[in-house]
Amino acid sequence: MKLEIRNEDSLVKIFKIISWIDNWRWKKEANFISFYRDENDFKNCEKILTHWICYITDRQIPYENVWNKGGKVFSELVYDYSRDNTSPKELLDKYYRKKGYDKKKSKPQFEFKSLTVSQNTFASRYIPEDYENIKQTLEVLSQEYEKNIVKFISKIINSFRDEEDLLMRVACALHLLTYQLGKNKKANPEETIKILNDPYEFNKKLKKFINTSTENKKRLWCCVRDYKKGLYNEIFEDAIKDEYDKDSDELINIWNKLPMHQIELPGDVWNNNPFLRNNLFANVLNIESIQKQWKMPKIIRVLYNQLKDYEKVDDFYPEQFDITFDFVPRMCNKKLCEVCFFGKNGVKSICIPTADKYCPVALITCGYSIECKDQVQKCYIKDDTGKGICKGIEKLKNL
């Protein structure tokens, strides 16, 4: 599969700018989960499991709700899960309750609710399905991995440590852990455990997983990404150290060396925004060569595969395009083409290189507070590398 690239140099410039800004995205140290009690009361593996469960429910609702409201409820659930001998289903059912009845849809409404703080409640958009995914996850971890998701991941790493596609195998196993539901989309932990423990069955699932890796797996790739870079990479490493002591260095080294280019772009409304997609690539690609059913994760993966051997894109990998999560609502949705690094005017009007100040371009376009690096390294933004690539500004004249 290939796309018709009309301007390879411009495409490389897009990749370089995306890579540059993504580097600064992960300098932020804020912990985005609101725990129900002091964060230091949690084991590192419990923080990772809370993070995983929050992402299960992160679908088509404001992310602040997930990490603030959901974080408080799910961190309490995980805290109890690690210390309680109650079966996972019994424990989960204590946190899951009917809250009313939707007359329009003729069905009951549910929510997750804290056991200790009455106002701590959270209702995800697809809550009945999320309930099954969480139950499946807790059951599998309880039966086979001492309720520890980091032990689960570590076992997969050790089992396939010599495979070139190790990261994809870890991602596939995590997908099975939570999303391999049985009939009628009900949790079926026994079936999942059987697949995970049977090399033949696992490889069948892996082949299917690889063929559909860019489709409907946003939450999975967000988690894998977070465990590879940023704050949660540190927590993940610390969790491995907690469990494996002397053997932890080798495991951490293997994990951190896994290639980032195997991680897919988490697809969402921001990177699939038509204004971004159609205008940014208008002069770079033959838009007609893009299959209609392809979403941005597939497009970026295909483009990357076409250019991956081109030495100028060494620093870029598909997941980095997720900076659109911050970029699109601030720039494309507000039509701020006049001060965009891909716009007709470039960013000269807002780039004021001063070594002891924050970069206004990164702050305006993505909300990242980073120090100006003009005096110590080449700055693609200052040089207007991407100027004029996007057609958006031309479109605005006709609105």
For the stretch 104-124, pLDDT in tens is 776 778 999 999 999 999 999
What are the φ and ψ backbone dihedral angles of 281, each rounded to 5 degrees?
A: -100, 5
Tens-digit pLDDT profile for residues 28-57: 655 689 999 999 999 999 999 999 999 999
Q: CB count, 10 Å around CB of 206?
A: 21
What value does the mean pLDDT take over residues 149-170? Answer: 96
CA 242 – CA 68 distance, rounded (Å) = 27
pLDDT the model gives residue 314: 76
Verdict on whether the full-model pTM lies above 0.85: yes
Tens-digit pLDDT profile for residues 63-93: 899 999 999 999 999 999 999 999 999 999 9
User: Is residue 100 classed as helix, strand or coil in its secondary structure?
Assistant: strand
Compute the 3-state secondary structure of the chain and give helix, strand, coil in percent, each to the nearest 5.
55, 5, 40
What value does the mean pLDDT take over residues 123-151? Answer: 97
**389 pLDDT above the threshold of 90:** yes
Residue 237 within any structural domain of the chain = no
The CA-based angle 79-173-326, given to 5 degrees, is 70
The CA-based diameter of the chain, rounded to the nearest angstrom, is 65
Decide: residue 108, CB within 10 A, 0-12 exposed, 13-18 middle, 19+ buried: exposed
DSSP summary character for residue 99: E
Query: Do 273 and 376 belong to one domain?
Result: yes
pLDDT the model gives residue 374: 63
pLDDT the model gives residue 375: 54
Query: Do 131 and 169 belong to one domain?
Result: yes
CA 206 – CA 204 distance, rounded (Å) = 5
Query: Do 136 and 20 belong to one domain?
Result: no
Going by pLDDT thresholds of 50, 70 and 90, the confidence category of residue 397 is very low
Residue 367 within any structural domain of the chain = yes
Q: In what order do the strands lie in the sheet with 96-102?
A: 96-102, 107-113, 121-122
Query: Do 97 and 219 belong to one domain?
Result: yes
Residue 117 within any structural domain of the chain = yes
Query: Do 21 and 48 belong to one domain?
Result: no
How many domains, in total, are found in the chain?
Answer: 2
Query: Do 13 and 43 belong to one domain?
Result: no
Q: What is the mean pLDDT of the chain?
A: 91
CA 163 – CA 153 distance, rounded (Å) = 15
Q: Residues 337, 390: contact at Cβ < 8 Å? A: yes
User: Is residue 156 classed as helix, strand or coil in its secondary structure?
Assistant: helix
Pick the residue with more confidence: 385 or 129?
129
Query: Do 48 and 197 belong to one domain?
Result: yes
